[in-house]
Structure 1
Amino acid sequence: MRVQTTRPLRPSRFGAFIAPWHDINGNPSLQIRRDLDLVAHLDGLGFDEAWIGEHHSAGYETIASPEVFIAAAAERTRRIRLGTGVNSLPYHHPLLLADRIVQLDHQTMGRVMLGAGPGQLPSDAFMMGIDPMRQRDMMAEALEAVVALLRGETVTRKADWFRLDHARLQLAPYQRGGIEVAVASTVSPSGSVQAGRHGLSLLSLAAGDPGGFAALDANWRIYDQTCTEHGHPADRDSWRLVVPLHLAETAEQARREAEYGALHLVRYSEGLSGMTLPWGTDAATAVERWTTEGFPTFGVATIGTPDDAIARIEAMAERSGGFGTLLLMDLPAAAPEAKRRSYELFAEYVIPHFTGANRQRAASLGWAHANSETFMGAMHAAVAAACEK
């Protein structure tokens, strides 16, 4: 656990949150293949994590099983950690979900993480006959069982939608310290309460939304308080925040590139809400709205240069009080090649700013500069002596 200093903790780990969102006019097979290619690209760029979502309706978020995707992505990657972002617990029997995650832990040689949530899309719950008013209670019931199973306990528990009789996992996790579990949190405090109750990590999905960002302080306080009540440490280093970003060499180029995908996201929001958004007819207007007041679901995006991204993340650290991992919300904000370039710019210029990767290089150059007269004088003297000889 890191010791909190007077300066809020800056993120030192970075990753992507891949729901995914895809334009419904594109080829779904190619879109999923590009998602797999993207995770391999992130691994090569040195990103730490990729989280893969679970959705079953509305056409844009087309991965139904993050576990199947992670199994394929693991074979294409070397070091990046892979998380379910998130499993909707009311949709799964706790024993079967825990069993699949432990199998993945072995297949990935310890790189898997479990993200847990109640389920985002009401259309998913409707098709399964699940009352949206019950989802958070169901999630709490399932989470208690899943956590106990992953910790090697034998569980007997009965809910009105599942039953466990002396249930246990036949495999222990590959990871010696156990599989990391992160609970999704948006605006309401329910995720913070469940994460604190079980001593789990906190995954704030709505940090890019003005309402979700404003709730960060309250959600952390509730998480901290609940952790204390149940005897768990509340470590900001395990806190993850998700934010939308798109970067290019210039701010003007980034905004032009974002016009490619902004209207796709508007159509998705309109499809879910049944409303027509007045600023959603022109791409440039939509980008302006996205970077100021924000989009429903997707929040306020930083669309600009690496320096703009650094400023946004620094502000998030100050406002939140500090966190350990920043996840980039993976969106079709730009054409595939431009999106890949955005990740490359982030890895090249933003990550080193926060990890301090170039601190010693800068110090070494500064030392050489400060002593340049001595060093250059000695070199010139040596050259002169050689010529004389």
Structure 2
Amino acid sequence: MGLRTGLFFMPDHPENENTTLALKRDVEQIIYAEKLGFDEVWMGEHHSGGREIVPSAEIMLAYVAALTKRITLGTGVVSLPYHHPFQVAERIAFLEHLTEGRLILGVGAGGLPSDMELFDIEPEETRPMMNESLEMIMKIFNSEGPVSHKGKYWEMNNMELNVKPYTKGGPPMAIAGLATLNSFTLAAKHGISPLSVMFSPVNILKQHGETLDRVAAEHGQPSPRPDWRITRVVYVAETTEQAWKDIRAGAEETYYDYLFGLGLRPLAKEDPDMADEDVTLEYMAETGPWIIGSPDECVRKINDLKKEIGEFGTLLITTYDWTTVDKWNKSLELFMRYVKPRI
């Protein structure tokens, strides 16, 4: 099977936009992606910041499930520190029935510093909380009866799901990571799909892949590389010049005014000592997080990425409001017509 493809929604929308229309546009894009033949769609969860406006991926995907037939639906991600593990397992088991098994449970530690502040959780606590929660969710899905747990962050006392998962043992799972290797260690250890999100440069992605190989071998398991998902910004136009003309203003607004303002700029650096002002749009394109240009240019960049980091299974296109709906949809069409067959 060739490289699978999908869309990854944060989703990010300008603060001055009509929220209802923005959400409807996301839904319409998912329906269009299914028509084009994309394999998957992933929906994020955020609670602050003013721009990433889906607080519950599960609710959004339940709505989308009723309007689609084939496309796989992933939570990208449920931020585990912000929810009790039993309630996550309960909602996901229920949603798996509503989607008739089209669901992937993507989990993570949460990425927005403002979300951590909102829930009064110290940043250094998010990964240990995620790790403990993940163990509990897996135990709940794989238990025939009540489950008890008393840990550092969570407790359960003889709790049992009223609605068992659609799939025995629960739906397929994925775990997201950015700069640290914790999530990729867990993915290889537990046989969970790894998900490299946001804008990690190629040298960081290589570390992700090497960690997957090493930890899987240590546990006597095959590398999860075939299930490895990587998110990239991809925009295709008739020419590379036209592609940049279409998206530059929107990209500058999202990155310079929002994402980098949140303190996320260091995640894009190949070298932590490089100056902030050197992390430009052109730098993002040169180091791999962005794949912008003509079909030929995008094919070259994706194939170069594959050569650099080795095998991975799915390329997820991060969606943004950087141009008109018509131009963005045209980019998706050009990708499926002229890029995907050649990667």
TM-score w.r.t. structure 2 length?
0.89
- Residue aligning to 2:175: 183
For 2:52 and 2:288, locate their aligned partners in 1 and report how far apart those are by CA, in whole Å. 17
- For the residue of structure 2 that corresponds to 1:244, the secondary structure is strand
**Range with greater deviation from structure 2 (300-309 or 242-251):** 300-309
- Residue aligning to 2:48: 57
Contact 2:141 2:169 in 1 (8 A): no
Contact 2:209 2:310 in 1 (8 A): no
**97 and 215 in structure 1: CA distance in 2 versus 1, 3 angstrom threshold:** same
- Residue aligning to 2:273: none
- Residue aligning to 2:233: 244
AA in 1 matched with 2:284 = G
Contact 1:209 1:294 in 2 (8 A): no
1:205 paired to 2:205: no
**309 and 177 in structure 1: CA distance in 2 versus 1, 3 angstrom threshold:** farther
1:294 paired to 2:284: yes
- Residue aligning to 2:321: 332
| Deviation readout 1:279-327 (Å, 9 max, x if unpaired) | xxxxxxx9x931x2129xx974222112222111111111111111100
**268 and 260 in structure 1: CA distance in 2 versus 1, 3 angstrom threshold:** same
Say how many residue pairs are matched. Answer: 328
Contact 1:54 1:63 in 2 (8 A): yes
Gaps of 5+ in 2: 266-276
1:136 paired to 2:127: yes
Deviation at 1:96, TM superposition (A): 0.7
1:27 paired to 2:18: yes
For 1:338 and 1:257, locate their aligned partners in 2 and report how far apart those are by CA, in whole Å. 8
Contact 1:14 1:49 in 2 (8 A): yes
- Residue aligning to 2:148: 156
**169 and 229 in structure 1: CA distance in 2 versus 1, 3 angstrom threshold:** farther
For 2:262 and 2:252, locate their aligned partners in 1 and report how far apart those are by CA, in whole Å. 14
Deviation at 1:222, TM superposition (A): 2.1
- For the residue of structure 1 that corresponds to 2:111, the secondary structure is coil
- Residue aligning to 1:262: 251
Name the larger-Rg structure: 1
- Residue aligning to 1:313: 302
Pairing of 1:97-112 with structure 2 (within 5 A): 97-112=88-103
- Residue aligning to 2:292: 303
Match of 1:82 among 73, 76, 87: 73
- Residue aligning to 1:145: 136
Aligned-pair identity in percent equals: 37
| Deviation readout 1:240-264 (Å, 9 max, x if unpaired) | 1111011111222211111341232
- Residue aligning to 1:174: 166
Pairing of 1:215-254 with structure 2 (within 5 A): 215-254=204-243
Deviation at 1:235, TM superposition (A): 3.0
Gaps of 5+ in 1: 3-10, 276-285, 355-389
TM-score w.r.t. structure 1 length?
0.79
- For the residue of structure 2 that corresponds to 1:76, the secondary structure is coil
Contact 2:251 2:322 in 1 (8 A): yes
- Residue aligning to 2:269: none
Contact 2:187 2:224 in 1 (8 A): no
**Range with greater deviation from structure 2 (20-29 or 43-52):** 20-29
Contact 1:261 1:335 in 2 (8 A): no
AA in 2 matched with 1:128 = F
